A = this chain, B = another copy of it.
Amino acid sequence: MPRAGLAPAAVVAAGAALADEVGFANLSMGLVAERVGVRTPSLYKHVDSLEALRRGISIQARHELGDTLVRATVGRSGPDAVRAFADAYRRWVLDHPGRYAATVRAPDLDDEEDRRAGDEALRILLDVLAGFGSPGADAIDAARALRSALHGFASLESAGGFGLPRDVDRSYRFLVETLISGLGADRAGDGAGEA
């Protein structure tokens, strides 16, 4: 029997591709094995378990998303950077639904690499928002607001949550502009800003 010449990274990559096709939750060792041309138990020579494979996909996906976001926003600033960030974010999620589902899993706090991959997108976001004029607003709050909104929209859209025929692109643009407008406004004294 000829060897497949497999490596852990190849298994993770195949798993990520498969997750985009069948859904992250439907990933199974059998499917991955078939995809890489090997019998199921052979996979255990490269990954410890299905759980470990999922974690590997999650970490890889977060890096890919991070790279995409950096590339999309480099050289831009202010509202323009936010728009570019938002567009790249949504595009990537739609193109990689399985990988995206993987990124959402709560990082294992005991796993250094896992935690760092999770912080990556947040750091990029803070850079994008740096110098964005929102008086009295903490940068962390702004980053969380933007991340929540984009994540919420993307995950609802990806899950088919928008039933109505209203144009979804348009709704997304509305969301992004609403946030940009809201982040730019001075709302001193509303109880969330200041101090």
Contact = CB atoms under 8 A, between A and B. Distances in A.
Contact of A181 (B25, B141, B147, B181): B181
Counting chain A residues whose Cβ lies within 8 A of the other chain, the interface size class is: 35 or more
Interface in A9-66: 25
Interface in A144-195: 144-145, 147-153, 155-156, 159-164, 166, 170-171, 173-183, 185, 187, 190-193
A119 interface: yes
A48 B8 CA distance: 40
25 contacts: A104-B155, A106-B159, A106-B160, A106-B161, A118-B163, A140-B164, A140-B166, A141-B170, A144-B171, A145-B175, A145-B178, A147-B152, A148-B152, A148-B153, A148-B175, A152-B155, A173-B191, A174-B192, A174-B193, A177-B182, A177-B192, A178-B187, A179-B179, A181-B181, A181-B182
